[in-house]
Amino acid sequence: MLEQAQRVLKDVFGYDSFRGSQGAIIERVARGGDALVLMPTGGGKSLCYQVPALLRDGLTIVVSPLIALMDDQVATLDELGVPAAALNSTVSPEQQRELAVRLRQGEIKLLYLAPERLVQPRMLSFLQQLNVALFAIDEAHCVSQWGHDFRPEYLQLGQLAELFPDVPRIALTATADKRTREEIVNRLALHDAERFLSSFDRPNIFYRIVPKEQPRKQLLAFLGERKGDAGIVYCLSRKKVDEVAAQLVEQGFPALPYHAGLPAELRAFHQKRFLNEEGLIMVATIAFGMGIDKSNVRYVAHLDLPKSLEAYYQETGRAGRDGLPADAWMAYGLQDVLMLKQMIQNSEGDERHKRVEQHKLDAMLALCEEIRCRRQALLAYFDETLPQPCGHCDNCVDGVLTWDATEPARQALSAIYRTGQRYGVGHLVDVLLGRDNEKVRSAGHERLAVFGVGKGRPEGEWRSLYRQLVARGLADMDLEGFGGLRLTDACRPLLRGEISLELRRDLKPQVTARSSGGSPASQLVRGEEREQWEALRALRRRLAEEHGVPPYVIFPDSTLLEMLRSQPQSLAEMGRVSGVGARKLERYGAAFLDVLGGGSAVAPAPVVDLRHELVSLARAGMTPAQIAGQLNCTEKNVYSLLAEAIAAQQLSLEQALDLPFELLSEIQDAFLDGEGELPAVSDIAGQFQGKVPEGVLYCVRAALQSEFEL
């Protein structure tokens, strides 16, 4: 069985060997056994059910929670020559009838369904008439009521064991602690399933966590080292998502917002653009979650603290799925802690549930203030031991300076107590620094013994100290008192002098690719390889547009990089490149060989490539001046390409230019003031000298000409 599986792996998917426990999982499921699979994002979970689906006789049902994820998987399988389909709300009644016929005739090998559709009595009855070979339950952690992605419909999937007793089931997830694993087993009736727990480690991701100072400036510095790379920026609130996305566009970054407050059509459009285009930044709340299968996301940045380590691991795991270097960067502060604590306090659920959520938040805070290797601490949460420090996180690379904070901590705690345990950090720091301001004086706090005792330390050090006291559980926030700090029982031994306290000293934030080691994939390409690398990417982009799929579905960056390094000179040699299966070799092999051999298959001409990038940037809201800076060309060239894109109906005039209504009307009237054909730009340019660049006139004329032709 394993030998057959390896042939399928090579012939269909283009890989020479299985990774980790993939082979054992596939053999178990292909022979008819149940399995629970925990494997990190990017670890190859989909192969664990796709290969058995091709080995077993009959139909494999894949339970998937998101339409975008289904569509992406089906498109990928189609490129590989595997007959697959998705049945969801986007499929018309006529298409559903056609699909039902194909399913009855056994023409489909994998069918993707949402859990709520699968458990409908009519659907279950229909499936019982078919030869079902396997059930694959993806994102199985959604069954956990304690988890961050709970989906009530998953609770009904346990009935599959009774309705299809002879059909094997495989449940897969990238995120599940011990409690969640037991929930998956019990709720899905997988008591006889063999458990496969792969390492949670993602060694290609560089982890960096920095204290918030000026978070948006810190983010811009981080992104400045990664221009041209695709990334995700997570924020806690919808308002912040909109503000950050707008700010990034103003600064020349192609960014899109995504949150539950946007219309569903706009969310779907933004997600499709992010998956299909290269170099876009998605600024999002956690609504932008599962289903992000884009392999070449080079970084995930958090501008706010996630509510749990499970959420953090899941979200950062969307970077570097192709195995190439990627970054997980986060800035956090006490305000994040206050907001998350308030969310827990105001959430639905009993006190037990809230205690669990608080425990998860405490673990997240502990990672932020960790003085050991970040990766060791993160993996320990998932019951995994990393024997040696990873050497690939900020604590390992930069080192952590610690200091004896015993006495300053007692002073800080004393300030909390003596001011009545109801003031926030700002006021407490003012008291410690001896600032004789109105608020301090009106409260009479200038007469306290702690007033001015901290003058010898900078304000930032006191703020850092309070942040770490909260993270250590020695102080807490009074949620009903607008975030004022109060003492906890845990601080008593420190105040009584029974223990000492060592804390980390904040360093200046390090954000560059050099310091992180998580440089963009393009930086892996040496100077002399750059031209050929860009030619390979240009060909991939053109083929993706022709086939209506994201570029990474044609080939991921890792496959292009191997082509570049191995320089295959024949189809046989191309077939040995990892990720090039038989179908893709037949479809694309000759074209990529032509590029590698210096031939003509680089197909879109440079100007076409440039226009493609320009259209994406204009749709993202960039001005012509910003686009010129991004593409390293003149504004005159930008206006020329904008006019061409408008004429080709790739852009609307409103997307290309942001003109006042009165000025636009004046320009249109100038072109329309006469009979017959539109006048040339040169004929009316004199009327608008000093008002607008001449390129604006070309764009308006192109839009009018396009309307006439319609």
pLDDT per residue over 465-482, tens digit each?
Answer: 998 898 888 998 876 666
pLDDT per residue over 60-83, tens digit each?
Answer: 999 988 777 888 889 889 989 999
Strands of 303-424 (E only): list them.
326-332, 402-404
Of the listed ranges 393-397, 418-422, 520-524, 601-605, the one predicted with least confidence:
601-605
Task: State residue 91's pLDDT score.
Answer: 85
Band of pLDDT at residue 685, cut at 50, 70 and 90? confident
Average pLDDT over residues 661-674: 87
- With 60 as the cut, is the pLDDT of residue 600 above it? no
Global pTM reads: 0.72
- Reading the block at residue 507, the tokens are 């360093």
- With 70 as the cut, is the pLDDT of residue 515 above it? no
Q: In the chain, what percentage of residues exceed pLDDT 70?
A: 93
Q: Are 404 and 500 in contact (CB under 8 A)?
A: yes
Cα dihedral value 518, 522, 527, 533, nearest 10: 150
Phi-psi region of 579 (alpha: psi -120 to 50; beta: other; left: phi over 0): left
Average pLDDT over residues 82-91: 89
SS3 content of the chain, % helix, strand, coil (to 5): 50, 10, 35
Residue whose pair of structure tokens reads 């408008």 in the numeric block: 646
Of the listed ranges 39-43, 184-188, 338-342, the one predicted with least confidence:
39-43
Q: Which helix (H) or strand (E) holds 205?
A: strand 205-211
Backbone angles phi, psi at 119, to 5 degrees: -85, 0
Task: State residue 523's pLDDT score.
Answer: 59
Residue 410 Cα distances to 123, 136, 320, 520, angstroms: 65, 55, 44, 45
